[in-house]
Amino acid sequence: MKYKLSSIGLCHANEKIYVSLMGDDDSQHHFYINIGGMNVPDLTIKEIEVMAIMHAQESFNNCDC
């Protein structure tokens, strides 16, 4: 499945970002991603999208679904 970034939110004082991805099957996936040590304003949207997609793939690979 392919994903694209739908939205980005900042929470917990620069420790986490909230991201929403949309799958090519119109599914929606929402994640909190720990970003400790990174400066959010320095991240590009593409970098955040890559982190979110990697997070989704890892989560689905570890799923017992």
Count, residues in the chain: 65
Q: Is it the case that residue 65 has pLDDT exceeding 70?
A: no
Residues paired with residue 30 on neighbouring β-strands, in sequence order: 20
Residues paired with residue 21 on neighbouring β-strands, in sequence order: 5, 29
For the chain, what is the domain count? 1
Can you tell me the distance from the alpha carbon of 48 to that of 63, in angstroms, rounded to the nearest whole number?
Answer: 22
Least confident span in 9-13, 20-24, 43-47, 57-61: 9-13
Q: Which domain holds residue 46?
A: 3-61
Long-range contacts of 53-56 (CB under 8 A, 24+ apart): 53/3, 53/21, 55/19, 55/31, 56/3, 56/21, 56/29, 56/31
* Single pTM value for the model: 0.77
Predicted local distance difference test score (pLDDT) of residue 16: 86
